[in-house]
Structure 1
Amino acid sequence: MSEEQAMLALQNGSDIRGIAIATPEQAATLTIERTKKIGQAFVAWLQRRVPGKELKIAIGMDSRISGQDLKQALFDGMAPADVTIIDCGMATTPAMFMATLYDDFCVDGSIMITASHLPYQYNGLKFFTAAGGAEHDDIEEILAMTNLLREASGNKAQIVEKDLLTVYAADLVEKIRAGIDEGFEPLKGQHIVVDAGNGAGGFFVEKVLEPLGATTTGSQFLDPDGTFPNHESNPDNKEAMQALKNAVLTNKADLGIIFDTDVDRSALVDANGQALNRNNLIALISAVLLKENPGATIVTNSATSQHVEDFIVGLGGKQDRYLTGYRNVINRAIELDAELAIETSGHAALKENYYLDDGAYLVAKLLMANTDLPALIKGLKQPEETMEYRFVIVEEPIQQNGPTVITDFKAYLNKQEGIRVITDHLEGVRADFDEGWFIVRMSLHEPLLVWTLESDKAGALAPLVERLMPFFMEQNCLDRQNIIKK
């Protein structure tokens, strides 16, 4: 692979992601030198959009151990340009967008150094302007520019340090106070524990919940640690949700909150230990928004339960199932003027909050509801069983072999008795059977096929999997010896 191809291969949808720390199994791909070139290219990209302006650029990072080196590489790449760089230190992805709007920052562009919940050796870059997050085409353009720009020298850039998280947290506090309108400490008397997963979300305890009067004893893993020693920093992970459940029950808390590493995703656990993530979270925030906005549209990714659609429709709303990927659902929500774009992974972008996928604002909005949250989703039917299988695609070209398997699987299903393929589904293949439904789709971030199944009858999934698994075992492009079951 040429250097030009290697650089372009860092694109991951509307982000940049790669291996920042080499391991015995993986060579580094998001290297210091490549990151330096990306910093230079981002400046040139912004200059095309605001020609003649003295640029201000903010840079922040999550807790990953490679973050400091990558930040310095961005500084070095921008150094020859006449720009002001605001070093935000530890930050969150939504806060980095807000840096384009806050009066004290008002930057032309910002970069968040993060790879979300991925293992410690990964890192990545997310880009923002005041118009929102970078699109797929923007990332493609920035990476292409790295191969066209000549290396520059000089040290014109000015670097200043500013505490963005404190400003962002204060903004959340004011919004929650205004939303509840019950005094300076509207959460007084509530016991809320936070699990930050050793990412960037620990600030939420000291800078948001405690100023609002909440008791936060029992909160855990608040200190940033890019080795993630306790559990995966991921609200979509069963072990992480179990850790939060244990903290809630042990401390007899009223509510538990969990964030991913860069705080663009979140989930909850109620006082009884019920997980309010995935489909439950979609239903919960939909119930809040539909009460405020009767008849509103909720855009979700493709892998949501049929029960979620029934719940939303039952409240007078509309569900629009769309393509997986937070930029995909956000752009769809903007197109439809929907109140919410949300994925089962926990990405949630509210119209009232700039269509920004912001895990902290999602929690703030639910706190503003000032009600018994579990009661809001009593009408949501729960499946008896769920399963998920992940098949690693081991043969190149990944982006051709994966869809080919899906196309062949669709043809295979059309010959199966009792299985009804949904013809107008936009992503992968989705099918119903008498007791439930399933979907097979390409993973957005990894070389995987993801098979998600749900049933309303206990014991129905095992025979279905036994019946359909032979298809996957015949696909030479898949790793059939190491099937991941979640």
Structure 2
Amino acid sequence: EAQGKRENLDIFPAYLEKMLEIVTIERPLKIVVDSGNGATGPYVKPFFEALGCEVIPLFTEPDGNFPNHEANPEEIENMQSLIAAVKEHKADLGLGFDGDGDRLGIVDEKGKHYQADLLLLQLARELLARKPGAKIVFDSKVSQVLIDDIKAHGGEPMMTKTGHSFIEKRMHEEGAPLGGEISGHLFFAENYYGFDDAFLGAARLLEILAKTKKPFSALFADVPVTASTPELKSPCPDDKKFAIVEEIAKNLSTKYPSITMDGIRVNFDEHSWGAVRCSNTSPNLTLRFEAPNEARLKEIIKLMLVELEKYPEIDLTRLHGAV
């Protein structure tokens, strides 16, 4: 029989060397980093200190039981320790990572949590200032604010299906240097390899912040404020969810302008939309909504509920809670 061999390699030094080649932070920043007891824990201090940051680490001991909170920076309830620490230490920014370190959440100096599509907006602005006309790829649940902002800054917005393989494939096909998902995945192909990297996403945002000489919150002074939900998960059996979403998409697309590449994104009016799709990884439907104000947001959620309530297999508890 052929004999294989096992070799243990420490690739962090090579990774750090690459990051220091492509990212420069021009002024010292104080940051709080919450690893959520995930895989990033042992690396947050050496990585961000090498970039020139003062680092206050939280929950850096890897522990698959996740004793402090779920390692999901998309949900604000998981960011409460980070928010408190940012305020306590008067930090410039708070960073949160998921369990395997490929998704990023951000808290500004005031403790405000940002959805990842608004992080992509800042990355896109910086890119488009250097590369006018660049293509930016994103999933079907991002804010209309992001889409409009990419256009306003001379870029080409490109929507595709949710999932890292779909984002990466579209970026490769189109030669797009940047991509992202509302879940916190951020993808980089400029001087990089075209996949998602939360450490690089965080470093790029710190680089942008350091150049502005302003607080992070000020970067959004000219970004329109809308009312929106986070991603909402509605349990639905795996063996039923695809047929249900296909039927929902068929019914709603006859009533409203819609995008049906990934479930359905319904445009209730020029500024209000709702999306429903099948989760790639769990027995759930994933939904998100956005409107100019809270009143209109509740209206469009109720319009979607009229359709969803036709299917008793869907648990709509969380969606009912949004109205």
**What residue number does 2:285 align with?**
449
Within the alignment, does 1:392 sit opposite 2:228 as a pair?
A: no
Within the alignment, does 1:380 sit opposite 2:223 as a pair?
A: yes
Question: Percentage identity across aligned positions?
Answer: 31
Alignment of 1:288-437 (within 5 A): 288-352=126-190, 353-369=192-208, 370-372=210-212, 373-386=216-229, 388-394=231-237, 398=239, 401-413=240-252, 420-422=256-258, 424-434=259-269, 436-437=272-273
| CA deviation vs aligned residue, 1:11-39 (integer Å, no higher than 9, x gap) | xxxxxxxxxxxxxxxxxxxxxxxxxxxxx
**What residue number does 1:159 align with?**
6
Once the two structures are TM-superposed, the CA of residue 476 in structure 1 deviates from its matched residue by: 4.2
Select 2:18's aligned residue among 145, 149, 171.
Answer: 171
Greater mean deviation of Cα atoms: 468-477 or 331-340:
468-477
Once the two structures are TM-superposed, the CA of residue 412 in structure 1 deviates from its matched residue by: 3.7
Q: Which has the larger radius of gyration?
A: 1
| CA deviation vs aligned residue, 1:290-346 (integer Å, no higher than 9, x gap) | 122111110001111111111111111110011110110111011010111211111
SS state at 2:117 partner: helix
* One-letter amino acid matched to 1:292: R
**Relative contact order (alpha carbons < 8 A, sep ≥ 6): 1 or 2 greater?**
2
Greater mean deviation of Cα atoms: 326-335 or 451-460:
451-460
| CA deviation vs aligned residue, 1:370-389 (integer Å, no higher than 9, x gap) | 32354444332121242654
Query: Does the aligned pair in 2 maintain the 1:278–1:344 contact within 8 Å?
Result: yes
What is the number of equivalent residue pairs in this alignment?
316
In structure 2, list runs of 5 or more residues that go unmatched: none
SS state at 2:6 partner: strand
Within the alignment, does 1:460 sit opposite 2:296 as a pair?
A: yes
Change (3 A) 1:453 1:409: same
Alignment of 1:27-426 (within 5 A): 81=2, 156-176=3-23, 179-180=24-25, 186-188=26-28, 190-217=29-56, 219-352=57-190, 353-369=192-208, 370-372=210-212, 373-386=216-229, 388-394=231-237, 398=239, 401-413=240-252, 420-422=256-258, 424-426=259-261
| TM value normalised by structure 1 | 0.60
Query: Does the aligned pair in 2 maintain the 1:235–1:241 contact within 8 Å?
Result: yes
Distance in 1 between the 2:138 and 2:318 partners? 30
Distance in 1 between the 2:90 and 2:82 partners? 12
Distance in 2 between the 1:205 and 1:383 partners? 33
Once the two structures are TM-superposed, the CA of residue 463 in structure 1 deviates from its matched residue by: 3.9
Within the alignment, does 1:439 sit opposite 2:275 as a pair?
A: yes
* One-letter amino acid matched to 2:138: T
Once the two structures are TM-superposed, the CA of residue 196 in structure 1 deviates from its matched residue by: 0.7
Change (3 A) 1:323 1:300: same
Query: Does the aligned pair in 2 maintain the 1:269–1:275 contact within 8 Å?
Result: yes
Greater mean deviation of Cα atoms: 193-202 or 431-440:
431-440
Change (3 A) 1:432 1:275: same
Supply the RMSD in Å over aligned alpha carbons: 2.5
Change (3 A) 1:461 1:481: closer
| TM value normalised by structure 2 | 0.87
Distance in 1 between the 2:76 and 2:321 partners? 12
SS state at 1:459 partner: helix
